[in-house]
Structure 1
Amino acid sequence: GLDAVLAVLDESTLQGERPLLDRAAEDEAVQEAERIASAIAEAARSKTGCPAIIATLPPCIQLTSADIATPGSIARFRLRVNMMLGDGAAEGRWLMWDQAALASRIGIERWFDPIAYHSAKVPFNVELCPLAADNIASLLAAMTGKSARALVLDLDNTLWGGVIGDDGLAGIRIGQNSAEGEAFIAFQNFVLGLRERGVVLAVCSKNTDAVAREPFRRHPDMLLKEEHIAVFQANWDDKATNIRAIAEKLGL
């Protein structure tokens, strides 16, 4: 049976009347887009028993830097529709595939193929199908509980610059005193963001346990603390063995 129904809409489905500088008309066009998304989600549930996955609209090539501030412009309309789709996904009305984020990462001029679209209504460059499929598969994995649940971190030259066992607490590079130190702070912020999303954090380091824990306990610029780490595995065993031990302890 089906796991989900994916709807990749283009702007022609959602046009409505939205003359430039007419905010009321733009509001109505966004409301009409929401009605279409709701109808798709309801049809998916009633006809297949599966949730609908609705793709965000990819960004467009903007004519001016003021497009986002201009009611009725294509760029502004797509941005508002994507926010509406995000709100609906947050409310559980449908699932969302963020095509816009992927297209932005690739580059809109490479993502969109106007010849393929007008000849066969292909929503993006066919050469990018494997990339899009992989991106959608990640969403399906999350739906079925098969997405990554834990992040296992090394320490030296991963959470800080240098080797704690050789350089000592004062010698490792982390913090606002260098570009390298700022980069490690930024990475720790990213890791903490993953933890807030439910990703379990673990440490796997070839090191003496007390030495490995010292930056977490005593370095003033460390954002990650011991309480953020579910399993702290620091010893001289090989990392494959330690990662297996971490997996067994977490039981995910």
Structure 2
Amino acid sequence: MILLGTGTSHGVPIIGCHCPICLSGHPRNQRTRSGVAVRAPEGTFLIDTSPELRIQLLREKVEMVHAAIFTHSHADHIFGLDDLRLFGYRMTHAVPLYCEEIVERQIRAAFSYAFLPPNPELHMGALPKLELRRIGLEPFELLGLTIQPLRLLHGTLPVLGFRFGNVAFCTDVSEIPEETYPLLEGLDVLIVDALREKPHATHFGIPQALAVVERVRPRRTYLTHVSHHLDYEITNARLPEGVELAYDGLRIEY
């Protein structure tokens, strides 16, 4: 799997910000919006479609996407959806999108043009071909992998994380319900939200993320959805063994 983006909703650097991290030349302090590409046995799927999706796929040389699954419908997680138009054209069938009902409603509203009846006046490939598939908390099969949805809370908003094999991806989370913790046992890799040092209303800070690590005890942990408050090298130097900041382009075996 490839972490396509590991930044907050503003990305890093932030437009107009002159802090040391936003001005840093370190490539791992440059963070696009959140997203993941997973190379499954039968193809590649995405977790979320960030506004920088096209740039991310070109950067990581991901040439084909067969499906997408969604954690939630905030703009920084869905607004690259039209970039899937190319893949529906190449496959000659709709790209399946797996999401909860509330996310489906918001995708249909934000991309209403993609769900209009066929228009013979439009050339092939003019509109995305998308097929929404409803998911809940039950495991489902996707491209040869079993995906286990994980209920998380993003402030008061219920969102999803996902586990496949011994990897779990939990972005945009400020609370993990008790019933989710058993699904996080035996992880090789945990990728979890850690916005900054201080607490936040809708995201874990580093102390909250480390408390989850202490409870779950994965072999390795990567902190994602990182803001411009955290310098890559300085932060990693003080994190415990087995925990480090994620970065755009990070490849993880699973």
Query: When you count strand as a share of all residues, which structure comes out higher?
Result: 2
Query: When you count helix as a share of all residues, which structure comes out higher?
Result: 1
Q: TM-score range by the shorter chain?
A: under 0.3
Question: TM-score by structure 1 length?
Answer: 0.22
